[in-house]
Structure 1
Amino acid sequence: MSSKVLELSVDYGEATIIRDEDSSNPVAVRFDHVRKTYKLYKNDRQRLLAAFSKRIHCDEINASDDLTFTCRRGEALAFLGDNGAGKSTALKMITGVCFPTSGTIEVHGRVSALLELSAGFDMRLSGMENVRMRCQLWGLSAEEAEELIPEIVDFSELGKYIEQPMRTYSSGMRARLGFAFASSIKPDILVVDEALSVGDRKFSAKCRKRVNEIIAKENVTVLFVTHSTGQAKEFCTRGIVLDHGKTMFEGSIDDAVAYYENT
């Protein structure tokens, strides 16, 4: 999609978020001195009181701390780091799940996220009904949805279960359907967070193959979080190493992996 279907620029105090669907922009994602601060309270009562008084004490932690990087169109960028390094927080800000405390975030293009794959489903509805609902939320026309749905159902390998209520699904079945949808809608920007271990070994290999096909054939920008340096090298050409929300290293994927493994 090359035209600007949606443009959004919002100020959140000291933070600015710019989003549009301009897939012709050479920049896919840009972070400029982004900080995301979480306030930690002793209990829920303290959190509630803080809404009415600034005198309530809390600890603060910067999940992202002065984070600056640019991911260009068609690039595959890996985020490396230990637990708590701020990798997933960066991806959640790109997808709009959470918002920065300060700094500027630009996202140019339609984003599909392979994050919490089973999130957002209505358990009362069938798998097919959930797929149709997500197609509507994505703004797909009836014709586009009818063309896409068979591919989603086939990839999920759910068979007749696709017509059953999702409350009857196992967590693995829900994740399969989530992956099938998110990877089938041909996004401009694909965000992946440890989502490639869906299901058994055979289906997991199928997921990895699908991501490789997306990267190779569709010029999709990929932002990838993983603890597996092997997967990072498989999918990405560039890497960023994070530690406590700060950028420790940025460069080619081989150099980034070497830095991460030696620190």
Structure 2
Amino acid sequence: MKKNKNLARPLGSKEMDELDLAVKVDAVTMVFNMASQQLNSLKEFFIAFARRELFFKEFIALDTVSFEVHKGDVYGIVGTNGSGKSTMLKIVAGVLEPTKGACSINGNIAPLIELGAGFDMELSARENIYLNGALLGYRKSYIDEHFEEIVDFAEVREFLDLPMKNYSSGMIARVAFSVATVIVPDILIVDEALSVGDMFFQEKCEKRIGELIEKHNTTVLFVSHSIEQVERVCEKAIWIEKGHLRMNGTVEEVCAAYRSMRE
């Protein structure tokens, strides 16, 4: 799946280097405010607010993280649970605005971040294909043209008119991945979306990602709890630990260092 290319890039002008960037994350910090006390009802909330007893504590999900992803790069993001991997991808996808710093994107994005995001579970899969496609910016005529391809790839034809609330998480992932990749995105963001599918569909998705990489030079940001899957799919990787960028390098170097930390 990986492209056989030299990871070292020739030196060029700053302007050419900027044009070659797909994603630039510049000193990004993300802070969430969390309630420091448990309130069980709106009444308790308003009483605490009126008495000025409502306190919040800051949780720093990301702390001054910087990295660059060039067009055509296939980047894995590794780290323990709660280290900020998914938060980073949501910032890249434009779902979250960083508290400090900046994230610039060059190209269109197909995000596979939250399982079922963009779906109405009361609607059928047929209806949700059009709904999710519209949210991703596809025209109805484009979905009409590629509808059979989407359904065939997702392998849900016999359940097409059932409400998606009756789907398993794996079936939802099939539909989400199929809709997101029916168009050729400049940047594909995958966050654990493949972990819920069966082994055969994971292989099918990895093959589709490989085709996007090889044929269309799609840039990929990939998060998975499976280090083996990251090593199969990616060329490079970053390691985020407790909100800090700990390492940035080849996938072999980063995954080896991450494994040694966990042993």
Name the TM tier (shorter chain).
0.7 to 0.9
Alpha-carbon separation, structure 2, partners of 1:71 and 1:50: 46
CA contact (8 A) 2:119 2:131 kept: no
Alpha-carbon separation, structure 2, partners of 1:218 and 1:208: 15
Alpha-carbon separation, structure 1, partners of 2:166 and 2:157: 14
CA contact (8 A) 1:28 1:73 kept: yes
Shift of the 53–100 alpha-carbon distance from structure 1 to 2, 3 Å rule, reads: farther
**Mapping of residues 157-196 of structure 1, within 5 Å:** 157-196=155-194
TM-score normalized with structure 1 length: 0.83
- 1:55 Cα offset (Å): 7.4
Alpha-carbon separation, structure 2, partners of 1:49 and 1:120: 36
1:108-145 per-position Cα deviation (integer Å, ceiling 9, x unaligned): 21111222232221123221111112223333334322
Alignment-mate amino acid for residue 75 of structure 1: D
Which has the greater radius of gyration? Answer: 2
Equivalent in the alignment of 2:61: 63
RMSD, aligned CA: 2.3
Shift of the 120–143 alpha-carbon distance from structure 1 to 2, 3 Å rule, reads: closer
Task: Name structure 2 gaps, 5 residues minimum.
Answer: 1-17
Alpha-carbon separation, structure 1, partners of 2:185 and 2:233: 17
Task: Name structure 1 gaps, 5 residues minimum.
Answer: 1-23
Shift of the 52–176 alpha-carbon distance from structure 1 to 2, 3 Å rule, reads: farther
TM-score normalized with structure 2 length: 0.83
Moved more, 246-255 or 45-54: 45-54
CA contact (8 A) 1:240 1:250 kept: yes
1:38-96 per-position Cα deviation (integer Å, ceiling 9, x unaligned): 11212346876898898743221211100011111111111111111111110011112
Equivalent in the alignment of 2:151: 153
1:188-214 per-position Cα deviation (integer Å, ceiling 9, x unaligned): 111111222343222222122222222
Alignment-mate amino acid for residue 174 of structure 1: I
User: Is residue 116 of structure 1 aligned with residue 114 of structure 2?
Assistant: yes
Structure 1 stretches of 4+ moved >3 Å: 44-56
Equivalent in the alignment of 2:254: 256
Shift of the 142–88 alpha-carbon distance from structure 1 to 2, 3 Å rule, reads: closer
Q: How many residues align structurally?
A: 240
Moved more, 132-141 or 93-102: 132-141
CA contact (8 A) 2:124 2:161 kept: yes
| 1:231 corresponds to which of 226, 229, 232 | 229
CA contact (8 A) 2:25 2:103 kept: yes
CA contact (8 A) 2:169 2:196 kept: no
Moved more, 128-137 or 39-48: 39-48
Shift of the 204–52 alpha-carbon distance from structure 1 to 2, 3 Å rule, reads: farther
User: Is residue 211 of structure 1 aligned with residue 209 of structure 2?
Assistant: yes
